[in-house]
Structure formats: structure tokens, C-alpha cells
Structure 1
Amino acid sequence: MFTEYKPQRGYDEYFSGTDEPRSALRPLLSSLGQLGLEELNRNHAAAGMLLKRLGATFRLNGSGNRGVERILPFDPLPRLIGASEWQTLERGLVQRLEAIDLFLADIYGDQLILRDGILPREDLETSQGWRPQMEGFRPPLNKWCHISGLDLIRDGQGTWRVLEDNLRCPSGVAYFLENRRVMKRMFPSLFAGRTVQPIDDYPSHLLQTLRELAPWTERPTVVLLTPGVFNSAYFEHSYLAQQMGIQLVEGRDLVCQDDRVWMRSTGGLEPVDVIYRRIDDDFLDPAVFRSDSMLGVRGLMQAYRAGRVAIANAPGTGVADDKLIYAYVPEMIRYYLGEEPIIENVPTYLCARAEDRAYVLEHLGELVVKAVAEAGGYGMLIGPHASQEEISDFAEKIKANPRNYIAQPTLELSTVPSLSEGELFPCHVDLRPYVLRGKGAWVSPGGLTRVALRRGSLVVNSSQGGGCKDTWIVSEQGGGTAQQSQSSQQGAPC
């Protein structure tokens, strides 16, 4: 099957630089070989139909595609990560989020990091995620980010790095869970003889985390607040609400009275203790943020400040999603925890700094430049793939608003074999693990591996033609037996 497969330069996760299969991948390659490319393609097409029947779609809202529903392209070749390597990544993710949480508590509190000159005040207060309305506030458990999805990449040497932080309303977990469901149904033979860490208990961990945010009651009522059916991630909103057994609500379903949040029901008003919000800060409460918002609940922030309702994630966490603030996270880890980062950042140039800006403008054709508040692969220049006109246009944008841009080296993201036009081709990937933080911390085993299915592309975002694949955390001992694998297919979570 892999005779014609040629790894590109950089780090391929299936094959070494000598084109030899990595030892941990040999059993999987054997199973794939028995399956054969023709059968793999046939089952792949059936998997796409299954995802469509399951409703696992996302909505494109960009220009020319508004309202178009698509399934997230799914690739059937799993990505494998060894258990010991994963344990290191887990520790690094928890460390990073602990520092970010302390940072959020500080900047909305005593602002010691500003007074000590670690972070310039101007960089903070010009961030689109900065919410001065949250100053002086202390959230339940004194935790700000409860549900996080951090983007990791492997560089050309195979070293893991953090590419971005996603703390406001991180998405993609429904596809992470559905990928495993589809793999077990369409490709059960690939699981035979190996132990893969289970993931389908994520909804129960999520629900437990949310309940822990309301210590004032033994039986908290949790709801998921969605903008509605026209949101690009509505499938995920309804999926998670159904999996947790909680109500999916819109702003019009909630009302605030006497510093409490209530949900309208056929039996009258019912109290709400925790809101898992999937709408941005600006739309949460028209009395505090955008006055023209029709999506939120008037009085919600008053109830929140009164300690009568919890919101996950806390308003104001989006400041840590700012790509300029991202550059300071290693210093946050040293400042708040007195530790060295377990997972390093990608080297980053801040165009707001004169010296960095001069270097970036001189080397635009070699760098990746990103707008600090954009997501989904938008507002980005990939220098080596850009035309001279695009480079010139971006240079003018940087000069006009340097605070709005950062730049990073064009990394050789690791590759994993993927089906591209019916053939196996090395495609670039990243990884979004999900971290839940209530009274403790829990990291999903693996995460959403996003794959750049367009040949040669470095952009993995679904809105830019990217897809996803299942991520397996596996024992390095080659563990597991056929009997264990068979039991997992009959109901044990995988």
C-alpha cells in the first residue's frame, strides 16, 4: 500500500528519514496492508456518508459560501502517539493553562505582571479580548478557563510546540468524538490487537467540570447557550447538550430576576446554575457589552457578579487568545509558577516592536504572518507561497497597524499519510487536545487532529479545505489483545 508513498522533508510520523516504518507503526501498517487501498477508499466513501447521516456538519459563513452546510472531511488513517510521550504533553498543557489562569486572575485583579514590566500595559489594553468590565471580579473556584483547546504542532525535528491558545469557545470536540465512532464502525480491523485509550467519556467529564462550578448547590442545573441554528458550530452545540443530557437554550429561553438566571419551560421558570456558553463575550449581556445583542440575556452579568450563576468560560478569557499575548505565555509560566515551559511556543516576532517589525518587513517572503485576533486561517500570509503583490499588500497592513500582526518562521509541520485524490500522500497536521478544569484538571487522551488535505498546504482549518483524523494514544509495549479490542467494539469506550 505504501510503495509509492514518499515522505516529504521534515518529520513524517509513519516513516523515518530512511523511509523505514517507525517501529510503533509496524502493526498498524500491517493491518492497513491487509485492508488494501481499494477497500480503504471504499470504506472512506462510506464513512463520509455515515457522517452526513449523523449530521456531523459545519456551516460555512464566509463570502460566497454563506449558509452552506458541509461534513468535515474525514481521513481514515489514524495518527498514533505513544502513552509516555502523551504524559509529557499532558503535563505541559496543564502547566500552561495554570499559568494562563493565574494571568487572567492577575490582570483583572492586582495587575502585578504589568507593574513588574513583564507585559506592557499597552499590549494588554489594546487586545480585542480585553474586557475592563471584568476588573475586580472573582469567578467560581477562582478559575477563568474551564474548557480549553490548545493547538499543538510537531516541527521538522519532531519537537512538539504550542501554536495557539483557544480559551473563549473552543470548538471541534464533537468531530473528535465522532471520528472515533466512525473509525470503530467502518475500520474495526485496525483496532485488533492493540489498546487505544478511550475518549467517549469526554461528555461525562465535561458535565462534571461544569457542575463543579456551582458549589452553592448539590444538584446544579446546567444549560448550553447557543447563538442558534445558523451558527457554524451548531451541530456541536446540540451534540454536546444531548450527550450530557442538558438543555440546549438560546438567549430568549432565559430570563434574569432577583439576581438569578431562570429558564422558561412548560412548567414555568426553572433556576439555572451553570451556563456553558458558546457565544462570544460581546453578545452575552446587552446591558454590559453590546447593547444591540439579541443573542444574550439582559441581567446575566449582574447575576454572575452576585455569585448566583457560573459561566464557562468566564468572560474576558479571550484576551489570552490574542496571538500577541500568546508570545508572553512562556514568561507567564516562569513568573507565576517559577518553572520552565514543558512545551515551548513557536518562535514569534511581534510587529509592535520596532526591531521585530523591521526584521519581519525585510523577510516577509520567508515568514508566516498572522492577524492577532483572526481565526480559521483568515488574515494570514504564508510568505513562501504568496505572490509579490500579496507580500506588498501585507507589508502596508503591518506598517498601518503593527499591533495587529505577529510573524513566525515557516515551519515544516509534521506529516501523516492521508487519502488525497484516492492515493496516500503526506499531509501536514496539527493537534487540538481538550483540557477541562474544574476542581481538578483532565486532559482528553489525544484530541482533534486537523489535516491539510490540499497537497502541499500548511493550512489545516476546515474553512480553508482542511479535514480531520482520529488520534490514538497507544501503549508503547504493543499492548492489548484481540479480545480487548473486540470488547471495546461491543461497548467499552474507545
Structure 2
Amino acid sequence: MTLGERWQEEVTATRERARFASSRAAGVESTAYAECGRPADACGAHGAGYCDESVDARGMVRPLWGALSRALACLGHDGLGVLDSRVRRRIAADGITSPETDTAVETATPRPWCIDPIPLMLSAADWTRLAAGLEQRSRLLDAVLTDVYGPRRTLSSGLLAPEVVFGSRGYIRAAHGITVPGHNQLFIYGCDLSRWSDGRFRVFADRARIPSGIGYAAAGREVVAAAFPELLEHVNPRPLMPFARMMRSMLIESARAADEPVVVVFSPSVCAETAFEQVYLASMLGFPLVDSADLVVSDGALRLRSFGRSRRVDVVLRWVDAEFTDPLDLCQEARFGVPGLVDVARRGAVTVVNTLGSGLLESPALAGFLPRMSRALLGEELLLESVPSYWGGDDRERKYLLANLDTLIIRSTVDGVILSGPELSRAQRDSLKSRIDACGWQWVGREPAQFSVAPSVRDRCGLASVPIGIQLFALAHRGGYTVMPGGLGHNAARPLQRSLPDRVMTEAAAKDIWVCSAPSAAPPSAERDQRVIPGTAGIPPR
């Protein structure tokens, strides 16, 4: 290639990046808010601006997004429409569904899942910090879980307030003394986080009950890879399947002294809200998916009934909320439980993961105690901080909570109620103040989470920037934790998702997360980019 040809190619690439940046900027809508729904500028959090994942402060495409920006610019509007259609067809063909809850009748009707064709790119430097923070946070929460259901030194020493533990709806008294083989009691950990205007990531929800999201992350990678194969080949993000293989291996190792352990995925029913994910994950791991009708406690063991025979079950990957797993020891109205499961788990006859009672770690009141517990239990400063929160059980924090009800996200520690302060009327705020004054320990106020923005397909053919949240996962692995090199992003633009973050993953458009080992160096040629989607080679960039 001559010098003139190289110069012409560079000019073309620069123009296409500029076209991507301008189309992305033109597509920015005032829908990227802080979590409580208060906009400040075109797309960010009030007062401090926002972080743009793909474009820097000068309006230039970040090097990490170079290959992707050029591919999208070459596709044009029509090409983006073809790309989005391919994703939707693949989702329909694979039968990927997510629930749409009708709160009036308390049923969940499956609907086609929605994933954005444009992945979220994370640099190697960002990922190194995130992975270290997630690994440390997993170790810390594992230490808390082990202590609370064991010697309880954190409680006797005053490191953790008793109300946070015993007042939490996730605390299972019957789980005291139940252990999981190996060094870790917390088998799988997940968290929801976002990048703030200062560029730092902060956690706004910890996930420790069930591994929801891992299956959708793996399915999302398959869908996006099929729709955008040449970009995947060029960027070469870190693969997710090694994490799935490790998860399978660690589940088998969780069995207690069994030569050929039987592992099952325990589902509430085929009509569960996340039924697709349960089926997908069970198939990916190679374990049978079962419900309470398939299991029975007999002769001091949990057994799987199949074709007139029964086999001893050694490990249960639990997808049923802990309080509904056993109608004898826990909730008597539990329709999805197995009578006697708690007893055989306590005696070590079966391993249940995540362990019963791990939902305690999701208490909104716990986040404020993590920095000092990290110093006390690990001897380390907390690397991945939480969104600032204020627990009503502390006098100083309660005063701040009461004075700022109209700006905070208010959560109950006992029944899971979530209230968006800015949306409350004066009468509702006055009523809430009275309740907090009476039982402050039952309430937590949290600052609204801020979200960075990233490119997304809009109206099936356009390009816009939308606020993005991230869900990441870690797996216990022989004394430590291994972090999935990717995860599941979500569009956090809808007001319902900002005020009810627990439902973000089921009601928002998802995003595949690509962890890059290094910034994309030379983007593919224009001719190659135009072949990303069959049938779009002749579409001029717009």
C-alpha cells in the first residue's frame, strides 16, 4: 500500500468515526437520568454531568470503540435495522423469553427477550479494577455470611448491628449451622453497578440469593455473536464459556465424598418468571432441571425420582427463594418446596447453593457496614464502593435520611418496599417520616445511582445514547473467587427501572458486555465492515 493509499484510508476512517460520533450525539435524548428520574443536562446526572463510554470530552471516539464505531457508521440506518432484525429473529428462533409481570393478577407472562445489538465495551484497565473489586467484595460477603450463620463475632463485637441481621427478610433462622463444603459459603455472587460522572463504578445492589442473570449473559453473547460475527472476530472479547465450565466443575466439587455426584438445578416450576434462563443454564451446565415434584427426602437423603427409580442427589443449585424451599422448617404455604430439605442440608447429606439464608447479604442496610467490615475481617480497604446510603438505625444517618426524603431512594429492610422520594406527595412523605421515627432500623435511604451512557439501536434503525447499568458475577473457586469476564448490561432509561432497580434486568433491553484485552488497534477495512450483515454491503453510510 502506497503512502497516498494509507493516508486516504486514514482519512476515510476518521470521517466514519466522526459520522458515528455526530450521529450518536444527535441521538442523545434527555432520558439518561439519575435513578430518581431527575435530569440535569442532555444525558446525565444532576450537577456533575455524565460519563460517556464511547466518546471522550472532545467529542472523539475512544480508541476502544474504534472498530465498533466504524462498523456502525458503515452500516448506516438501514444496516442497523437489518442488524436489529437479525437479533430479534435469533431470539424468536431460540425461544428466549423474559417475564412481563401483571401486578393486578400476580402472574408472569413470557414475552420475547430484548437485547441491544451493540455491545458495551470495557477496557482491560477498567476490567482489572472491576474484577479486583468484585473478587474482594465476594470474599467480604462470604466472611459475613460464614460468621452470621456461625460464631456471630461480628454481632458480639458490635461490628454489625443485630437489627440488620435479625430484622432482614433474607435472614433464615433455620439455616444456622448449615455449611457448604470447601472454603467458601457464598457459592455465586452478583452485583448491579454503574459508572458515575467521576468515572468510578459503584454498586447499587448485591445479589446473593439465586444466580439470575448468568444464563441471560451467556445467551446474549450467542445472539450478538451470531448477528455481528466479524466484529466479534476482530475485537475478540474474552469468552464466557470457561466461566460456565468452571461453574459446572465447582458444583461437582461441592458434593460431599461422592464418586459420581448427582447435581440438579432446582426450579420453582416451568411457569416461573425466569423459566427460560433456568432451562438454558441447566442445559449449558449439563444438569437436570427439576422441581419439587421430582424430589423427595427419604432415608435421610434427598432423592431424585425418575422413571420409577430414585437416585441420591448430592448438590442442588437453588433457583427457589430460601423461605420457600421447605414447608416443614420454613414457610408452610410453600408450594415449591421439598419437605425435609433443611434437615438433610443441616446434617450434610446434601449441598444447597447458594446456601439457605444467603439472601441476608442483599439487605439494603448492610452496604453501609461494608467498609469497616472489610478493614476488620479482611484487613483491606473496600475497593468497590457502594452507592452512599443512610440507615435509620443510626441516629446521625437517620437525621440525614429524614431531612432528604425527597431526594433519596427509600427501601424497607423488612418487606422489600422501595419508594422513590421525589415521586412521593407531601402527605406520603409525612407518613413515611412518622414510620421512620417510630422504627428507624427498618428503613434505608440511598442516593440515586448515576449511569454512564453508551450507544444503542433506537427505533430499530437509529442510533442513540442511553444510560447503562451493569450486572457482574463471581464464582467461588478453591479458596477464592473467579469473576465472569463479561456480564449483562441493561438500558436504565425507563422511570420504572430507576425507582425499582430490582426489576431492571427483566424489563429493560439488555446489553452484552465485551471485555477487551487491549484497545482495538486498526479497525477492519470499510469493505470488510460492510459485509458484517449479509445483504447490507451496498448500503451507503449515513
TM-score (norm 2): 0.83
State the 1:270 CA deviation. Answer: 0.9
Q: Does residue 380 in structure 1 map to residue 422 in structure 2?
A: no
Larger Rg: 2
**CA deviation digits over 1:388-436, x for unaligned, max 9?**
5665565455445433322222343111122333533322211111111
Structure 1 match to 2:136: 95
In the alignment, the residues of structure 2 paired with residue 249 and residue 22 of structure 1 have an alpha-carbon distance, to the nearest angstrom, of 47
Matched, 1:320 2:361: yes
Match of 1:492 in 2: none
Q: Is residue 403 from structure 1 mapped to residue 441 from structure 2 by the alignment?
A: yes
Residue of structure 2 in register with 1:112 after alignment: 153
Within-5 A mapping of 1:17-32: 17-32=57-72
* Paired position in structure 2 for 1:424: 463
- 2:392 and 2:58 map into 1 onto residues whose CA distance is 39
Which range is displaced more, 254-263 or 472-481? 472-481
Query: 1:21 deviation in Å?
Result: 1.7
CA change 1:262–1:464 in 2 (3 A) is closer
Give the secondary-structure state (helix, strand or coil) at the position aligned to 2:145.
helix
Q: Shift of the alpha carbon at 1:149?
A: 1.1
CA distance in 2 between counterparts of 1:207 and 1:324 reads: 33
User: Which shows bigger deviation, 197-206 or 279-288?
Assistant: 197-206
2:8 aligned partner:
none
| Distance in 1 of aligned mates of 2:362 and 2:497 | 24
Name structure 2 gaps, 5 residues minimum: 1-19, 29-41, 44-48, 533-542
Counterpart in the other structure of 2:100:
60
Cα 1:260–1:464, aligned 2, differ >3 Å: closer, same or farther? closer
Picking from 397, 413, 437, the partner of 2:476 is 437
Which secondary structure state, in structure 2, belongs to the residue aligned with residue 276 of structure 1? Answer: strand
Equivalent pair of 1:418/1:453 in contact (CA under 8 Å): no
Aligned runs of 1:46-57 on 2, under 5 Å? 46-57=86-97
Q: Secondary structure at the match of 2:514?
A: strand
User: What's the CA shift for 1:38?
Assistant: 2.1
Counterpart code for 2:284: Q
Question: Aligned residue for 1:130?
Answer: 171
Structure 2 Cα separation of the partners of residues 373 and 467 of structure 1: 30
Distance 1:290 1:37, change over 3 A: same
Query: 1:307 corresponds to which residue?
Result: 348
Measured in 1, the distance between the counterparts of 2:427 and 2:241 equals 47
Q: Distance in 1 between matches of 2:260 and 2:125?
A: 37
How much has 1:371 moved relative to structure 2? 3.1
With 66-75 and 320-329 compared, the bigger mean Cα shift is at 66-75
When residues 192 and 224 of structure 1 are mapped into structure 2, their CA distance, relative to the original with a 3 A threshold, is closer
In the TM superposition, what whole-angstrom CA distance separates every residue of 1:153-199 from its partner, at most 9, and x where no partner exists? 11111101122111011312222112111111112233242221111
Q: Once the 2 structures are TM-superposed, how far is the Cα of residue 70 of structure 1 from its aligned partner?
A: 1.6
- 8 A Cα contact 2:497 2:504, kept in partner: no
Greater alpha carbon shift after TM alignment, 451-460 vs 89-98: 451-460
Counterpart AA for 1:433: L
Amino acid aligned to 1:11: C
| Alpha-carbon distance, 1:464 to partner | 7.7
Query: Residue type of the partner of 1:47?
Result: V
User: Taking CA–CA contacts closer than 8 Å with sequence separation of 6 or more, which of the two structures ends up with the larger relative contact order?
Assistant: 2
| Residues in 2 aligned to 1:313 and 1:474: alpha-carbon distance in whole angstroms | 30
Deviation by residue 1:439-465 (Cα, 9 ceiling, x = unmatched):
242211111112124389746644784
Seen in structure 2, the aligned counterparts of structure 1 residues 16 and 371 have a Cα distance that, compared at 3 Å, is farther
- The alignment partner of 2:406 has SS state of helix
Give how far 1:227 is off.
0.5
Match of residue 270, structure 2, among 229, 232, 239 = 229
Question: Aligned equivalents of 2:517 and 2:424: distance in 1?
Answer: 42
RMSD: 2.7
Between 387-396 and 231-240, the greater mean CA deviation after superposition: 387-396
Alpha-carbon shift at residue 57 of structure 1 (Å): 0.9
Check whether the contact 1:129–1:316 (CA below 8 A) recurs between aligned residues.
yes
Cα displacement (A) at 1:374: 6.6
Deviation readout 1:320-361 (Å, 9 max, x if unpaired):
111101221222211111011111111111123233222222
CA pair 467-404 structure 1, distance change in 2 beyond 3 A: farther
Q: 5 Å matches for 1:140-289?
A: 140-266=181-307, 268-289=309-330
SS of corresponding position for 1:407: strand
Aligned partner of 2:452 in structure 1 is 414
| Residue 216 of structure 1: how far off its partner (Å) | 0.6
CA–CA separation in structure 1 for the residues paired with 2:487 and 2:341: 32
Give the counterpart letter for 1:381 in structure 2.
S
Deviations 1:65-92 (A, max 9, x none): 7332222321122111112321221121
Instruction: Give the Cα–Cα distance (whole angstroms) in 2 for the partners of residues 303 and 175 of structure 1.
Output: 31
- Matched with 2:80 is 40
**Preserved contact between residue 155 and residue 412 of structure 1 (Cα < 8 Å):** yes
Point out the more displaced range, 472-481 or 306-315: 472-481
Q: Distance in 1 between matches of 2:336 and 2:183?
A: 27
Does the CA contact (< 8 Å) of 1:210 and 1:438 recur in 2? no
- AA of the residue aligned to 1:263: L
Which secondary structure state, in structure 2, belongs to the residue aligned with residue 403 of structure 1? Answer: helix
Could you tell me whether the CA contact under 8 Å between 1:77 and 1:418 is conserved in 2? yes
1:364 aligns to what? Answer: 405
Which runs of 5 or more structure 1 residues have no equivalent in the other structure?
490-494
User: Within 1, Cα distance between the matches of 2:96 and 2:57?
Assistant: 37
Are 1:31 and 1:189, in contact at CA under 8 Å, matched by a contact in 2? no
| Count of matched residue pairs | 483
Work out whether 1:16 is the aligned partner of 2:56: yes
Change (3 A) 1:421 1:481: closer
Name the CA shift for 1:67/1:125 in 2 (closer, same or farther; >3 Å). closer
Higher mean displacement: 273-282 or 29-38 = 29-38
Distance 1:91 1:138 in 2: 26
Q: SS where residue 302 of structure 2 aligns?
A: strand
Change in Cα spacing, 1:390 to 1:161, as seen in structure 2 (3 Å) is: same
Shift of 1:239: 0.9
Greater CA drift, 466-475 or 131-140: 131-140
Bigger mean CA deviation after superposition, 43-52 or 312-321: 43-52
1:381, 1:394 within 8 Å by CA — same for their partners in 2? no
| Aligned mates of 2:415, 2:214 — CA distance in 1 | 20
SS of structure 2 residue aligned to 1:140: coil
- Alpha-carbon distance change, 244 to 465 in structure 1, aligned in 2, over 3 angstroms: closer
Q: In structure 2, give the amino acid aligned to 1:429.
A: I
